[in-house]
Structure 1
Amino acid sequence: MSDRINLSLDQVYDLALRALTHNGMAEDHAQAIADVITQGQRDECHSHGLYRVLVCVRSLRSGKIAPAARPTLTQPAPSIVKVDAHQGYSQLAFQTGLPALVEQARKQGVAALVIRNCFHFSALWPEVEAIARHGLVGMAMTPSHAWVAPEGGSKGVFGTNPLAFAWPRPNREEPFVFDFATSAIARGDIELHARQQQPIPLGWALDAEGAPTTDAHAALAGAMQTFGGHKGSALAAMIELLAGALIGDMTSAESLAFDDGVGATPCHGELLLAFDPQRFLGDDFEQSQQRAEQLFAAITDQGARLPSQRRFAARQRSKREGVWLSRSLVQDIKDLLA
């Protein structure tokens, strides 16, 4: 028997949805989470695909998460939209706030969506791509748990602290988009290496004594490293400030302390920004869009690829052929239905 199994995207969504609802997640929360998990698996972002069902259910069982919390929306200023997730997952809170974010960005030219008191596990590109589908430029950032050491240090201070950006391309299906952790790699990738008993590359993490390691289990017991040395470290600090201190929510260190060793999904806030090119540019909109396309062409015409091109290629392949998953992972998720 092969150690891999092929599932359609509908089967991925259904399996995630059933596992979540069977373990106590409210239906609307489960639908929002299953949709994001399916997007991750569709784009072959394995650490943010079906594997995350295991993380979500473990977090549910920890008792930290409110599985049926109702997000509430307020608007303290014309260009600021706030959604309180009330200790629920962030996906439904984002769906709640997105229409107001789009509306205010179109009125004001730029708007911010602040999501507070949320548990966030996913990549950020689903959020910024959703913003870009409305013809808006999107940015998103979050802290996480203090797993990442600052450059020159050996103890966790920062989270993986991802940053995502999307630029809409009106004549193309996909936007220009990037999404990367300010750590050398996403935490989920180290977890997958540990699960599969595989070594990690040097430069990803330090062990508990602060020495570089290729052992995934030692890395999980130690501290991750930032990408690009001091540059990644500075960006990580910026995200702690903008998506933590500025919005009145927890830093990565506070999030880890709040977890208190139970191993749940990180609890913190998220900051999303939306810019309306039409409001910025007026009659110059078409000319500026051409400038952007000239920039992209200058990259691709010399053989370089744009960010997310491999992910977009995987997206089309998965729509045609379904996705391949570890049989043991699928069985682990089915076991959650027992």
Structure 2
Amino acid sequence: MPDNNLQHKIVDVPTSAPNCVALTLEEVQALSYRVLTHHGLSAAQAQAIARIITAGERDECHSHGLYRLLSCTRTLQNGGVVRDATPVVSDRAPGVVAVDAQFGFSQLAFEVGSKLLIEKVRKTGIAALAINNCYHFSALWPEVEALVEHGVAALALTPSHSWVAPAGGHRPVFGTNPIAFGWPRAGALPYVFDFATSAVARGEIELYRRSGRALPEGWGVDAEGNPSSDASTVLDQGAMLTFGGYKGSALATMIELLAGPLIGDMTSVESRIVDAGAGAAPCHGELVLAFDPQFFSQGDFREDRLRAEKLFAGITDQGARLPSQRRFSARSRSLANGCVQIPEALLKDVQQLLR
């Protein structure tokens, strides 16, 4: 049934945009948790995912916010997710920690594995976290940001389902294959980027389909490899495209190798075969690397940190913006307003999941 208490709270939250409803971040997290546990997910798994979904809405990354509950519940219904999976952490080597997600979602696996990763990077300067057998649906910036808070630089990468054609081809081989990087900054927000090696995240195309809008040129092709602006054609029959042509294609290949065969897990093609048309979230692995800048410094860590700041100033002083600045501005706005704007149609779809 719909959350009547939530509906009552909505009335008390001021100023919603047209066709939107204002929810507090606490309400977004509570609704996410309720939906996930309603579909049988354990409390620990649901809490980890609810935190990530709330962060997505907070930062106005709408394709990774409440909208993701639709795919999460579809995965719980049709996929092979172990609803009460407890990740198993292995101390594999001085610089390597491995987590078997036990076919649960990746968020909880990262949370438990990152604790040992931080311990290792403090001792070795560089350390790796390999997550295996996880269902993955979210952005990677929450993970690199969580590590950057400890003063380390971080790199994360993962494959997905084979939805993306290589440059010069038209049959899907790659996943959207995101890569994210974070750099800590003293007294300033961290430098963070997170992007798919596809021209756009698949969730963005899904949102275009929901709204009936035509896709921009260069996002996808039909089954014959012809450019298509129809979201359903690209998603259901054709293929997405990499960004930057052969450059994006090469990066996507690198991610397939490092977060697939290197850590003993599946490629995007294999993940889609295992899915067998169920439409569940991709099941595969993830690789996270952490670097301690102070460990690598040749003795003057403060000067090295200033050198990095000069690099950032060289970008911003000419009017260019750093990656994630728009997202950080949205975060500040959401925290100041105390609420976020959720499309009414999406909220109804999410509440329907509680029936």
Q: What TM-score, normalized by structure 1, do the two folds share?
A: 0.98
Where does residue 252 of structure 1 map in the other structure?
Answer: 268
User: Any conservation in 1 of the 2:165–2:172 contact (CA below 8 Å)?
Assistant: yes
Structure 1 residue corresponding to 2:171, chosen from 155, 171, 186: 155
Letter in 1 for 2:205: I
Distance 1:204 1:87 in 2: 31
What secondary structure sits across from 2:26 in the alignment?
helix
The SS at the match of 2:259 is helix
Corresponding residue SS for 1:178: strand
Deviations 1:82-131 (A, max 9, x none): 00001100000001101100000010000000000000100000000001
Query: Aligned residue for 1:294?
Result: 310
Which residue number corresponds to residue 344 of structure 2?
Answer: 327
The aligned residue for residue 204 of structure 1 is 219
| Aligned residue in 2 for 1:217 | 232
Please state how far the C-alpha of 1:3 moved relative to its aligned partner. 1.7
Q: CA deviation at 1:170?
A: 1.8
Partner of residue 127 from structure 1, selected from 135, 143, 158: 143
The one-letter amino acid paired with 1:190 is I
Q: Deviations over 1:31-77 (max 9, x none)?
A: 00000011111111111000001110110011411111110011221
- Aligned partners of 2:79 and 2:281 also within 8 Å: no
Paired amino acid for 1:200 = L
* Structure 1 residue runs of 4 or more that deviate by more than 2 Å after TM superposition: none
The residue identity in structure 1 corresponding to 2:70 is: L
Aligned match for 1:281, one of 265, 288, 297: 297
Distance 1:42 1:157 in 2: 33
- Alignment equivalent of 2:184, drawn from 155, 168, 171: 168
Distance 2:336 2:71 in 1: 28
Aligned length: 337
Shift of 1:283: 2.7
Q: Which amino acid aligns with 1:55?
A: S
Q: Give the Cα–Cα distance (whole angstroms) in 2 for the partners of residues 139 and 170 of structure 1.
A: 19
What SS is found at the alignment partner of 1:154? Answer: coil
Q: Residue 182 in 1 paired to residue 197 in 2?
A: yes
User: Following superposition of structure 1 onto structure 2, how do residues 1-338 of structure 1 map, counting pairs within 5 Å?
Assistant: 2-172=18-188, 174-221=189-236, 222-281=238-297, 283-321=299-337, 322-338=339-355
Query: In structure 2, how many angstroms separate the alpha carbons of the residues matched to 1:248 and 1:267?
Result: 13
Supply the distance in 2 between the matched residues of 1:281 and 1:20 (Cα, whole angstroms).
44
CA contact (8 A) 2:79 2:278 kept: no
Partner Cα distance (1:101, 1:214) in 2: 43
Question: Alpha carbon RMSD of aligned pairs, Å?
Answer: 1.0
Identity of aligned residues (%): 59
CA distance in 1, matches of 2:243, 2:211: 24
In the alignment, structure 2 segments of 5+ residues that lack a partner are 1-15
TM-score computed with the length of structure 2 as normaliser: 0.94
AA aligned opposite 1:175: P
Give the secondary structure class of the aligned counterpart of 1:123.
coil
Contact 2:79 2:275 in 1 (8 A): no
- Letter aligned with residue 196 of structure 1: S
Q: Distance in 2 between matches of 1:213 and 1:337?
A: 36
In structure 2, C-alpha distance between the alignment counterparts of 1:277 and 1:154, rounded to whole Å: 42
Q: Provide the C-alpha distance between the structure 2 equivalents of 1:284 and 1:147, rounded to a whole number of angstroms.
A: 46
2:3 matched residue in structure 1: none
SS in 1 for 2:341: strand
Question: Partners in 1 of 2:115 and 2:299 — Cα distance?
Answer: 26
* Residue type at the aligned position of 1:181: A
Letter in 2 for 1:331: K
